[in-house]
Every structure is written in structure tokens, then in C-alpha cells.
Amino acid sequence: MVYESIDNKKIKDIKKLTQKKYRDKFNLFIVEGEHLVLEAYKKGVLKQLILEKDYILPLDVDTLYVTNNVLSYLSSLDTPGKVIGVVEKLENTNKLGDKILMLDNVQDPGNLGTIIRSAVAFNINTIVLGEGCVDLYNSKVIRASQGLLFHINIIESNLLELIPNLKEKEYTIIGTKVTFGKSLKSIDKFKKICIIMGNEGNGMSEEISELTDFNVYIDMNKDCESLNVGVAASIILYELDK
Amino acid sequence: MVYESIDNKKIKDIKKLTQKKYRDKFNLFIVEGEHLVLEAYKKGVLKQLILEKDYILPLDVDTLYVTNNVLSYLSSLDTPGKVIGVVEKLENTNKLGDKILMLDNVQDPGNLGTIIRSAVAFNINTIVLGEGCVDLYNSKVIRASQGLLFHINIIESNLLELIPNLKEKEYTIIGTKVTFGKSLKSIDKFKKICIIMGNEGNGMSEEISELTDFNVYIDMNKDCESLNVGVAASIILYELDK
């Protein structure tokens, strides 16, 4: 059968997942496009596939065929594609690894997506989202991450509690400030590191700043006051991955 | 007087500048927010100031006071601010300097804005926009650049004609590919360089690729196929600025 009506209960239930409260309630989220759907399928977390009625994508999962009208209703895109997936939220692990990236109040979904992509590129083991960060399952985050959220451990945590814990385990806690601390080019290698990136406008919160071992900054021309946080994180992760 | 109607000719003429064809015709563009307006003013290119009727910003320039309704009409933002500037397009120079960044078909306005910001940060002298790039005066480009378009020479040019010209002047032409060429970490210093970044989906065009001296790539984890072009450009410019 082909689902033609946006009033159908199944369709309405999927639509609910565009809201955080329902994503949290059902432990599900939506991805759009064949690339992301296949990433979720390979990871074993694709629960339901929604296809434009004539589209062919034979996956071993509950599949609903729908009209373009229904796709438009479910999609967060101006130009909806033909493939949507309902995906189980990621099961993450408390084994954090030796390279942790902590985000303090990063609010822009595009920035979080970019940071996830760069964190995978530069071999971060775990991303820790502190309170105040944009929801990981926001459609723009998922799109900007290019599906790389399926390739890295991401947890939510209270940073003020976690940092002292990491210090006991001999992590070096590296904060980031625009102009204060050590030049990124000058810092040594550490076996276990935790890098903290702060909010787009205000940087790291004061309480978090007080817990760092030192801060790094990126040398740059004085005409440029600061870099986009996604760019700054990417440069720092690149440099520390050498 | 306070302009209250969006049917007023002056207001309608400003609104036209949200379209590229009128920006080109009148050689003007719009910036939003006090920060960008002040950047334009310092640069001497602010032609007209549009303020919410009770807002105070005493600049020595033709000023129109308008209602919030008119501001909403003129603004490209979901939540319009209280300050808009009409700005003369940048007068750029053919003195390109020793460090050039060339963009081949970069289409996303956020990416171009980010790249402008990073180019200023890492001491690029000139950005060359090839055909197919998003319009520099697109509101999203301006916003993402954080006003740094006023701090760097930006020209439009035919890259296929300009590159051979630069080669004659002993520039080293460095292309970028995701996985092919020299590792960014391994490349030498050159006195005069031109770095080329390509399109978001397809990279550099084939004709451009054939003109490079060599390509660089950024070492990364194999799970990550590529980086966002704004991020990749920023890392390359950071590394080459050392």
C-alpha cells in the first residue's frame, strides 16, 4: 500500500520525531537521504524506511511507501528527497578513550555537525556534549555531520562533574580561548587529552575555564577577532592529531 | 520623518538590493546589524543607514528612520535587527600579493563567508572568485564572513585565464584533492603561492586540476571521506601560514 494522507497515524507518529521531546520519548530520530539511511542500516540502527512510492531501495527493514506530499510533510528540507529513515538513537559507551572533545554550550546545529565530522577525521574517541548544547538529533546537526555521528562515540554529560573525574585519570584538560594561553603551534604531545570548545559568542563558561590545565589559542592576523567554532575546533584537532 | 510604508519608493529601491541583478546594477549591497554597518563605515563605503525609529547611531551618512514593519520587509533575517546599511561594493585591486586563495565553484554562502574569515585570519592577500561561485554580496555570505570581507582584497576572475598568468609570475599553484597529491604536513614553503579550493560536491574542475603544480590533501581517518570545504580551506591556510 501507499500512504497518501498526512492524517494517517503512522505518518503522524513519524512527524513527531521532528520534535526533541518525542525523539527523547521514543528514543528515535529521523535521517534524510539515501546516504544517511545506508549509514544507519550498516550500523544496525535503522528501524523503518520511508520511500517515495516508486523508489527502489531493498533493505531488510519495515518499509512504508508514501506520496511526495507525505515526504514533504515529513521532511525538514526545502526540497525533500525520496528517502527517509527512522533510526534508533545511538547507544554510547562510557569507555571514553584517550582523546576526548568536550563541547560547552555549542548551540549552532551546523557547527555541531561540522565538529562531529572533523572529530572523526582527526581521531577523537569521544565527543562529550555538555548542557546547553544543541540536540544531537536535530536534523541540521545530522545533515552537517554527513552521517559521521554513526562513526564516533558521543555522550551527554555534566562537564563540571566529568572534568575532575578525568583529571584523576590523568587526562590533560586543554581549554580554548581566542587570545589567551599557549599558542597551538607550541604545545606538546600528551598521552590522554580532553579538549574543550566553548559557545559561539561567549567561549567556555567561567566555571569550566577554571578547571582547565591550560588554554590554547590559534595564532592569527589581528584583523580577525575569532574563527567560527567549527573551524577553530577542526584546526585544533588537526594539529593535535599530528 | 519616519518611513512607515513598504510601498515607499526609497524603501522599495533598498529592497531591490536583496536581488543580485540590482546589486550589480546599482553597485550596492545590504549589510545588517551594527557591527557590519560600523565595519562598512570605517571602510568609507557606507552610503545609507536605515534605523529603527528610536535607535540611536549617529553616523555622518544619509539616515532613514523606519518602523519595525519596514525593517522586517528589508531584512533577510527571521528576527530582524534595528540597523541596516546600504553599502558600496568593494573596490578591489589587481595587486594580488604573494598569497592567493582561488575558489572554483564554491556555492554555499556559509562556506564562502567562513573561508573569507579564515583567509583574513591566516594572512591571505587576495581571494579570487571563479565563475560559478556564490555571489559575494549574498546576505548569508556577508553574515558568515562576520564583516571580514572589508579586510581583504576579493576579485572575480576567469581562473583558467588567470592561473597561467600567475605561473609566469612564478606563483606555485597548489590544488586540493581529498586523497591525492602531497600530504599537507609535508609541503615546503614557497614565496608566492596560489591555493585552489573546489566545489562542495565535486572538488576542482578537471580543467583547473590540469593547471596545478601539485595537489595537497589533509591526512585523516578513513571513516571520514572528506571535510567541509570551509574547514578544509581553513586547515590548509592555517598550515601554510606557519
Interface check A81 vs B, CB under 8 A: no
pLDDT at A179 > cutoff 80: no
* Predicted confidence (pLDDT) at residue B242 exceeds the cutoff of 80: no
Class of residue B6 by CB neighbours under 10 A (exposed 0-12, middle 13-18, buried 19+): middle
Q: Which ipTM was obtained for this model? A: 0.90
CATH 3.30.1330.30 fits A2-88, yes or no: yes
d(CA A120, CA A126): 9
Domains B2-88 and B99-240 share a fold: no
Strands A2-3 and A46-52, bridge-based pairing:
unpaired
Based on its alpha-carbon atoms, the radius of gyration of chain A, rounded to whole angstroms, reads: 20
- CB atoms A234 and B224 under 8 Å: no
Summarize pLDDT for B174-224 with one digit per residue, the tens.
999 877 799 999 988 899 999 999 999 899 999 999 999 999 999 999 999
- Residue A178 has a pLDDT of 76
pLDDT for the residue numbered B195: 97
Using the beta-carbon criterion (under 8 Å), do A227 and B148 form an inter-chain contact?
Answer: no
B56: Cβ contacts below 8 Å, ≥ 6 apart? none
Q: Does domain B99-240 have CATH number 3.10.100.10?
A: no
Can you give the pLDDT at residue B92? 80
- Whether residue A239 is predicted with pLDDT greater than 80 in this model: the reply is yes
Spatial separation of the C-alpha atoms in residues B57 and B108, rounded to whole Å: 33
SS3 label, residue A236: helix
Question: Which residues in chain B have their CB less than 8 angstroms from residue A122's CB?
Answer: 220-221
Closest CA to A169 of A234, A113, A231, A96: A96
Q: Would an 8 Å CB–CB cutoff place B38 in contact with chain A?
A: no
Specify the DSSP class assigned to residue A185: G
Contact predicate A136/A149, CB 8 Å? yes
| Rounded mean pLDDT, A178-200 | 91
* Residue B27 pLDDT: 96
On whether any CB of chain B is under 8 Å from the CB of A231, the answer is: yes
Asked if B6 contacts B113 with a C-beta cutoff of 8 angstroms, the reply is no
User: Going by C-beta distance under 8 Å and a sequence separation of 6 or more, which residues neighbour residue A12?
Assistant: A6
Q: Rounded distance, CA B142 to CA B156, Å?
A: 16
| Cα–Cα dist A51/A64, whole Å | 6
Give me the pLDDT at residue A91, please. 85
Over residues B109-127, mean pLDDT: 96
- Contact B153/A at CB under 8 A: no
Give the integer Cα–Cα distance in Å for B139 and A233.
25
pTM: 0.92
Q: Would you kindly state where each structural domain of chain A is located, as residue ranges?
A: 2-88, 99-240
Length of chain A: 242
- Measure in Å the smallest separation between the Cα of A141 and chain B Cα atoms: 13
